[in-house]
Every structure is written in structure tokens, then in C-alpha cells.
Structure 1
Amino acid sequence: MRDSNRLQRLQQRPLWDFALALYARPGVEQACLTLQDEAGVDVCELLFHCWLYQQGLAASPGPLATIRAERMAWQQQVTATLRTLRRRLKPEAAHNEAVKALRATLQSAELQAERENLQRWQQWALGSSDADARLTKSDISQHNVAQWLQDTLFSTPLDNDLCRAPRGRERTRAALFALASQLDRCESPR
């Protein structure tokens, strides 16, 4: 897929800027945290798909699997390690200024790791060519965004995942709908 208008619009709105703007919208932060903590969703990948959706694009499943594995390794080895350390220090930071400062440093490092991850997702998308077909035009209607995100992020349907409690499925779906409700309608290419 070579749609220079869509790719040009991706270049004009960096993924990091898009992620910050979306994350600041009502309910998005909580939805992302719910999806991360209860459903194991990589929020950077989630934001990446939302960014593509905004420009009428989607990642092709084959090429996506390769970059997903690479980016997931980063998330697990770098970002999640920093997050775990930061969260582990939270109780002690409440009454120890030195630990509070350390926790703030870890939080900053975690944010930098997420930014680097998003930049790598963006580089991958912008490196798309007809030959590798990383991106395709998206035909997702605004009414189906939550379902599309669910299908893109989860390898099995939520209803068939026996490990997930019914209440967890409900919270996961609610988080997907909350996030989808904050995405602007996809612009038609000119």
C-alpha cells in the first residue's frame, strides 16, 4: 500500500504527540491502565494502532507479528522492569524522601522507555513500502473501533479466553469502548 497522503499525515503528527494528546482525553488514561494491568495489553502498541486508525490505516497482520514480538521484548525487558520497580517502591516512598526521589527518577525513565518504544513503532510504520506491505488502508467504521482494537490486540476473542474472569472481560470491553469513544472520526483521504 502506498498512499502518500496518509503516510505524509503520519509524518506530520508524530506518534508521541498523538499519544500524549489521546492519553489526556477523559477516561483514556484509566482505560489504558485497565487494559495494561488487567488484560496485559501493551499500551504503546494500543496507541500505535489508534494513531494509524486516525489516518485511515491499519497494520497488516503478517508484518505486525514481527514488530510486535520485537516491541514486546522491549516492553518486558525495559519498560515493565522500570514500572515494577517504581510500583514496588510506592509504599516506602510515602515516608522516605530519598526513596520518593528514586521513584520519581524511575518514573521518568519509564516514560523515556515508552517514548523510545513509540518512536520505534513510528519508524516501522513510516518505513512501509509496497514491497513489505506493512500498512493497509483501513475500512473500520467509527462504530466498530472497539471491536477492531479488541481483534487486533488479542489473539483469541475475550469470550473464549477461559483465564479471564467475566468481570475482567467486562472491564476490558468497557476500557476498549471508552478509548474508542475518544478517537476522532477517521478523515477520508483527499
Structure 2
Amino acid sequence: MLDSTALDSTRFAALQQAPLWDFALAFYARPGVEQACLALQDIAAVDVCELVFHGWLFTHGLEARPEALSAQRQSCGEWQAGVTEVLRGLRRDLKRAERPSETLLALRERIKQAELLAERENLQRWQTWAWDADPPWQRLQNKPTMSNDTGIWLQERLLSPHDGQRSVFDEVTVEALQDAFDVLGRQLDPLQRAR
């Protein structure tokens, strides 16, 4: 019997024709996605770039092999912490200014653009990780067809304990997280391609 998760070369070829950045822009523009991503980022410290990466793979019927993700997750996490989150913190600090000057507003806008470029760089790193694996089946596999709904699938990719520690959330937070993942799952479902 053939392994249903063995990487399908047709799916991988389609993935290589669809840049992650293009997917990110289209997905983020879908109704409710931006708010859901920001909620997950603020409530559970979810890396939105990794979230988008998993969504991109999902739309091609693929997923990352969990055992292969660890080093990439750490590398991208270091980038996020050292660059993106620093820029985000500066931007948010400047936003709190009472009666900001034109110069301060211009500075905040530049920092916002730098933050976007930092996120684009992070997405590029995820894409390169997926595309440049030799052989690609070491990092990617077909997404099993018999899985939970998309929101739960995405939640399992992002909130499963990666370092052996499980996050504990109160009931209200759990509900907010589930709502955000439900929104993202519903928006990913229409983007699915034929498998």
C-alpha cells in the first residue's frame, strides 16, 4: 500500500510556481484574516509568517514534516525576535505619542515599512526552506486527506508544544483563539486546489 503522505511531485511543482509572498498578500486581504492573525499574534505569540507559511502549503495539499520544522522554526523565530518584533515595538511606542509631529508620523510610517520588509524577509526564508530542500520529501509531505477541519489543522501546526512545554490559556482566551483559527480555516478552505 502506498503512503498517502508521500510527497507528490505535481503538488510540489505547483508550490514552486506560487510565491509565498503573493499568497500572503491575497490571504491577508480576505475578510477577517488580518484581525484573526493579529489576535493570534497578540494573544498567543503566534508567528503570523509561520501561520501564512502553513496556509500556503495547505492550499497545495502539502504540509511540513513536524520533525523537519524545528531548526527552521528556531531560525525564523530568532529573526522575528531580533528584527521584526523590535520594529513592531518601536512602531507601537510611537503610535502612543500625544500630538505627534509630522516628523514623528513620517518616522512611524518608515518603521512600519521596515517592519513589513522584515516580515517579507521572514516569508522568503520559509519559502526557501520549502523550495530548496534536496530532496524535498525530507521537509514536505502530502497533507492527509482524512484530517480535521482546516482551523483545527492550522491550530495543531502552530500551538502544539514545540519545545515540550504546553501553553495554558484561560477559557476566554481559548475561545478567542478557536474563533481566530475558525476564521482562518474558513478563509483557507475556498483557496484549496483540487488534490
TM-score (norm 2): 0.88
Residues 143/186 of structure 1: CA separation in 2 closer, same or farther (3 Å cut): farther
Q: Name 1:39's counterpart in structure 2.
A: 44
Query: How big is each residue's C-alpha offset from its partner over 1:100-150, in whole Å with a ceiling of 9 and x where there is no partner?
Result: 100000000000000011011001001134476100100156861111111
Q: SS where residue 13 of structure 1 aligns?
A: coil
Sequence identity (%): 47
- Tell me the equivalent position of 1:124: 129
How big is each residue's C-alpha offset from its partner over 1:50-90, in whole Å with a ceiling of 9 and x where there is no partner?
A: 00000000000111111000000000000000000000000
CA distance in structure 2 between the aligned counterparts of 1:130 and 1:107, rounded to whole angstroms: 37
108, 113, 121: which one pairs with 2:113? Answer: 108
Q: Give the number of equivalent residue pairs.
A: 185
The alignment status of 1:80 with 2:85, answered yes or no, reads: yes
- Which one is further off, 52-61 or 127-136? 127-136
The answer on 1:188 being equivalent to 2:176 is no
The equivalent residue for 1:176 is 181
Q: Any stretches of 5+ residues in structure 2 without a counterpart?
A: 1-5
Inter-partner Cα distance in structure 2 for 1:93 and 1:70 = 37
Are residues 1:165 and 2:170 paired? yes
2:3 matched residue in structure 1: none
Do the aligned residues in 2 keep the contact of 1:140 with 1:148 (CA within 8 Å)?
no
Alpha-carbon distance between aligned partners in 1 of 2:14 and 2:105, rounded to the nearest angstrom = 41
- Structure 1 residue runs without a partner (length 5+): none
Change (3 A) 1:94 1:173: farther
With over 3 angstroms needed to count, the CA separation of the structure-2 counterparts of 1:45 and 1:97, relative to structure 1, is same
**Structure-1 residue corresponding to 2:17:** 12
Task: Tell me how far apart the structure 1 counterparts of residues 146 and 122 of structure 2 sit (CA, whole Å).
Answer: 28
Q: Secondary structure at the match of 1:25?
A: coil
